[in-house]
Structure 1
Amino acid sequence: MHVLMIAAENDAIPGAKVGGVADVVRDLPKALPHHDVSVDVVIPDYGQYATKFESRQLASVNVEFAGQTETVTLFELFFPQTPNKVRQFVVQHPLFGQGGSVYSHDEGNRPFATDATKYALFSLAVCQLLIESELTRPDVLHLHDWHSATIAVLNQYAPQYKELANIHSVYTVHNIALQGIRPIADDESSLRHWFPTLNFDQSVIADPRYSHCYNPMRAGINLCNKVHVVSPTYAEEVLHASDANNGFFGGEGLEKDLAAAKQQGRLVGILNGCEYADSVSKKRTKKPALSTLLVPAQQQVKRWSAQSAQLKTVHYLANEQINNWNSQAPFTDFLVTSIGRLTDQKALLLRQPYQGKTVLSVLLNDLARVNGRLIILGSGDTQIEFEFMQLMASHDNFLFLNGYSQALSDQIYRHGDLFLMPSSFEPCGISQMLAMRDGQPCLVHAVGGLKDTVQHLENGFSFNGSSLQEQSDNLITAFNDAIKLHANKPKTWAKIADNAKSARFSWQESTKQYLELLYTPA
């Protein structure tokens, strides 16, 4: 079997990662050859990858896009670590490399405008390359998130690509909160502007809430043979309408389409995997001294500070906090850690008002009573960053590292006693798996993939609730229960930590389900 994966991100290519989808597109292709599956992966060339890395040009083709003839070029990239039966490709065009980053950030009232145009051209390029180049025609066309969903639209409605509609297609929803919605017409970044001669069924691809808008994610869900979400629990949650006021995030307007897909037998929930080294023990090792984390953390803060001529207050305060901690006796008490993008998905509950404070402030006060500390690594929403910085200034036991570093993340997973991940929704989650892999139990909101991986008082701690207030109450209660358990029942805690470290969510197990439930036509 031969699979072609089309995505916006791919961490097999240095510089082509923003979020978790890049990890999946890196790791899933490596696991599939064990089941006699060959995989090609193609993304846009954002950063002159074809020049930076060993490559060969395979084809240049012309496409008609937005009233112009555009030339796109296909390159295969070569990396020493690439497994047999896996090939990495990029498609090059000036539009893809603008800004040198994966995604653009359009301000104001035109969300996704730049990216939607970019990925519409990318989708068209892939279709044309499948028709007339050395990009091998696959048995399975696997589209990831809204960025590649327009391929399903072109295959279904563009006469020149009708033969591609016979390829078995799979559409994976990684983040249903981002759907790439754009107008159908009357905008430079709109479906009719990109493809003025395309005749389509608007009832299938229009947004259910904004009928004048094109919704790529809805199109992918409705037009592909199989629809995949990245955990079994999330596959149930997305069948229900979101109720943000009460802290429930489900189908985000697409619940009816997903329910129809389930009724038709097209919707499948399969948990993403995590890579485990064969040599890694399933028993916890002794936790390293905190000082061995603070040294690289301070070095990283200095590197972040040097990126701007103006010193950011958050980096100054983080450096001061590290100096403060270094001046004290060696830390041997309870260390809580958290890593992630600072968005409402990850931080909504931590920001909830609670008895004149925020939930996070309450947790820090509770932690201080046992001489515990909290380290959060992350960046994202500027308001959340500001609020966390203010808390660091007022809580001596809180270190907020405002940025991202893979090396620092790896260190933090190894050093913590408890990993905090109270996401309001989590399609799958990878951070909890990485923390558990290093023997750090997690405290999670029992939603999506978190519910599927963390079992309360077995390999971690969890909470839920039917309203924001109830979720906040239960988070604080579960946090304090964990603190007490760690202090009063060390053998029970050690067992939970050992269970966390020995848990396995392997790609090998997941790929068996891919073959059986997604890649094999019904």
Structure 2
Amino acid sequence: MLESIQLEANVAFPTVAHAELQASAQPSISVKRRQSILFVTSEIADYIKAGGLGEVSAALPRALRHHYDVRILIPGYRQVLSQIGPVEEIGRLPASFGIPACGLGRGTTQDGLTVYVLLCPELYDRDGSPYVDGFGVDWSDNDIRFARLGLAAADIACGNGDHLWRADLLHLNDWPSGLASAYLVWRGQHIPTILTIHNLAYQGNFDRSRLSHLGIPDAAFQINGVEFYGKLSFLKAGIYYSSHITTVSSTYAHEITRPEFGCGLDGLLRTCAEQGRLDGIINGIDESWDPSTDPYLVSPFSAENCRGKRANANNVRQNFGLALSNGPLFAVVSRLVHQKGVDLAISAAETIVSQGGQIAVIGQGEPRFENELQALAHRHPGSVGVKIGYDEGDARRMYAGSDFLLMPSRFEPCGLSQMYAQRFGSLPIAHRTGGLADTIEDGVNGFLFGEPSLNRFKDAIKRGLDTFRSRPRLTAMRRAAMQRPHGWDRSASRYQEVYQRACQTALA
């Protein structure tokens, strides 16, 4: 089965031909040309986001642009086109198989990043998120929508679309862009490709009957290709055909090579790891997460002077219908789904309330968890407050005002919430998994528990409550959390190393 997968030699890495072609196409000048990176994503926080991928897609290209000519490719969703400003159509990408033709637009972010936008209203001009409609149901043509993205990435990398620019390397993100590396290989264009897995649980699996519509060769529908338990998998294709794989924390990179976290792809990922093609690189958070300057906060503060936290805590209590209190304030800022351990947080609420604590919850997700949380708030008026939905200002003030962030995720590839909380002096209480294990030092800048069970979670909460009662210890932990390095510089350096290895292998 998957454990026996062996990569084909002519698939794993690109050849020198593309590099020679690019070199010959450049003018003869003494200034060394910066490498060109096409960052392919299905969401970006500047315009549209459904989760952490949107935040990473906004921050990482900006962290890399001092070293590379980085450009972003994203579908032309309604939300993108309404916010990006002027978009110049610079080319047309032809229809292929069942994938419609589209225009290629070029715009810029407010700070000057080039963004390529796929202009195809029949696929992208819709309400809803990038992946689901307003009722949370997957778009029925998601295979075509994101095959269009992957094929466009391959075209642009080859110099089609924008005839003045081509990519030295593609940086792909999650299943929506996974087919890009495969399209390049099937064309014999071995341009280096990096695939970052942000969450292995989302794989883009479709019926095998869709192969011909997507231009996938029948010969590729096998274990050494795109086949995944009888289905076509965009993520499997991206993992198999890409030059290198990264994921968003060192611990998660190890976890996904084991059956309990590998989502059926652990065998392939073990092969990647054994070949030195799998790295874990922790995400950072952007510079806007600064409690001394954040415009959403009602009172600024810093690691040296945290007095402003009280004003933010009182604001949260008022907005969430909680009583004024000198007790500990716990926050939950999360998608309300099973992965996030929301059921554990609900079950632990009685312990928190009985010890004089309060809980503020913001998020949306599975209706059963939304209903259970609202019932919990009804049972504990003044102690539990719940808002279904999401508001950026509310979330930031919750991080700033809370003493603790509850994050009992069953698995967490990286997690950003714990870093937001730490930066704002709120101590995360989290399961020791994925990026949580990599960013939280137990008893120093947060609290970790070893298995996702209610008893272990409650033990960690009790340790937090004991710390709250010791003001010197609480102050020391807050300061350690706020002073932990949270930025993108270290992560960007790691990505540079991966890019260099992939390109050097291509030239070998």
Other-structure match for 1:3:
37
Aligned to 2:168: 139
Is the CA contact 2:221–2:232 (under 8 Å) kept in the aligned structure 1? no
Q: Once the two structures are superposed, what CA deviation does each residue of 1:341-376 show, in whole Å capped at 9, x if it has no partner? A: 1111102xx425xxxxxx624x32222233210001
Q: TM-score, normalised by structure 1?
A: 0.82
Q: Which amino acid aligns with 1:41?
A: I
Q: Distance in 2 between matches of 1:51 and 1:493?
A: 45
Give the secondary-structure state (helix, strand or coil) at the position aligned to 1:227.
strand
Q: Do the aligned partners of residues 181 and 494 (structure 1) sit closer, same or farther apart at CA in structure 2, a change above 3 Å counting?
A: same
Paired with 1:454 and 1:439, the residues of 2 have a C-alpha distance of 13
After TM superposition, the structure 1 = structure 2 runs for residues 318-397 of structure 1, keeping only pairs within 5 Å, are: 322=321, 325=322, 328=323, 330-347=324-341, 350-351=342-343, 360-361=346-347, 363-396=348-381, 397=383
What is the CA distance between 1:39 and its match in structure 2?
A: 0.5
C-alpha offsets along residues 292-345 of structure 1, whole Å, 9 cap, x if unaligned? 2355x46xxxxxxxxxxxxxxxxxxxxxxx2xx3xx5x3222100010111111
Task: Tell me what 2:239 maps to.
Answer: 221
- The partner residue of 2:316 within 293, 298, 310 is 293
Q: 1:207, 1:218 within 8 Å by CA — same for their partners in 2?
A: yes
Give the equivalent residue in structure 1 for 2:391.
Answer: 405
Please tell me the residue identity of whatever aligns with 2:206. R
Q: Residue 11 of structure 2 aligns with which residue? A: none
Structure 2 residue 131 is the aligned partner of structure 1 residue 149: no
8 Å contact kept, 1:50–1:77: no
Matches within 5 A, 1:90-489: 90-105=117-132, 113-131=140-158, 132-134=160-162, 136-157=165-186, 159=187, 162-163=188-189, 166-185=190-209, 190-195=210-215, 199-200=219-220, 202-208=222-228, 210=229, 212-242=230-260, 250-276=261-287, 281-286=302-307, 287-289=309-311, 290-294=313-317, 297=319, 322=321, 325=322, 328=323, 330-347=324-341, 350-351=342-343, 360-361=346-347, 363-396=348-381, 397-465=383-451, 471-487=453-469, 489=470
Change (3 A) 1:121 1:372: same
Change beyond 3 A, Cα 1:431–1:98: same
Q: Distance in 2 between matches of 1:342 and 1:77?
A: 35
Once the two structures are TM-superposed, the CA of residue 519 in structure 1 deviates from its matched residue by: 4.2
Letter in 1 for 2:146: Y
State whether residues 182 and 191 of structure 1, in contact with CA within 8 Å, keep that contact through their aligned partners in structure 2.
no
> Separation in 2 of the partners of 1:434 and 1:107?
28
Taking a change above 3 Å as real, the CA distance of residues 75 and 253 of structure 1, as seen in their structure-2 partners, is same
Which ranges of structure 2 fall in alignment gaps of 5 or more residues? Answer: 1-34, 294-301
CA RMSD of aligned residues (A): 2.3
SS at match of 1:205: coil
Shift of 1:167: 1.3
CA contact (8 A) 2:131 2:138 kept: no
Shift of 1:125: 2.8
Which structure 2 residues correspond to residues 44-63 of structure 1 after superposition, within 5 A? 44-47=75-78, 49-50=80-81, 52=83, 53-63=85-95
CA contact (8 A) 2:303 2:478 kept: no
Percent identity of paired positions between Structure 1 and Structure 2: 26
TM-aligned CA distance change 1:113 to 1:256, over 3 Å: farther
SS in 1 for 2:95: strand
Q: How do residues 2-21 of structure 1 correspond to structure 2 at under 5 angstroms?
A: 2-12=36-46, 14=47, 16-21=48-53
What amino acid does structure 1 have at the position aligned with 2:431? Answer: H
Instruction: Say if 1:457 and 1:51 are closer, same or farther in 2 by CA, change over 3 A.
Output: closer
Q: What pairs up with 1:65-84 in 2 under 5 angstroms?
A: 65-66=97-98, 70-82=100-112
- Identify if the C-alpha distance between structure 1 residues 288 and 56 changes in structure 2 by more than 3 Å, giving closer, same or farther: farther
For residues 126-159 of structure 1, the C-alpha deviation after alignment (integer angstroms, 9 at most, x for no partner) is 33344422162111111100000111221122x3
Partner of 2:475 in structure 1? 494
Distance in 2, Cα, partners of 1:233 & 1:214: 28
Report the alpha carbon displacement of residue 97 of structure 1 after superposing the two structures with TM: 2.2
Contact 2:253/2:278, CA 8 A, preserved across alignment? yes
SS of the residue aligned with 2:185? helix
Cα drift, residue 238 of structure 1: 0.5
2:493 corresponds to which of 507, 512, 515: 512
Shifted more, 275-284 versus 382-391: the winner is 275-284
Displacement of 1:2 after TM fit?
Answer: 1.5
Q: List per-residue Cα deviations over 1:445-497 (Å, max 9, x = no partner).
A: 010000000011111111012xx5xx22110111012112211x211111111
CA distance in structure 1 between the partners assigned to 2:396 and 2:134 by the alignment: 33
SS in 2 for 1:411: helix
The runs of 5 or more residues in structure 1 that have no matched partner are 243-249, 299-321, 353-358
Match of 2:28 in 1: none
TM-superposed CA distance for 1:95, in Å, is 3.0
| DSSP 3-state at the match of 2:398 | helix
Paired residue secondary structure (1:288): helix
Q: Displacement, 1:199?
A: 4.6
Following TM superposition, by how much is the alpha carbon of 1:237 offset from its aligned partner in structure 2, in angstroms?
0.5
SS at 1:399 equivalent: strand
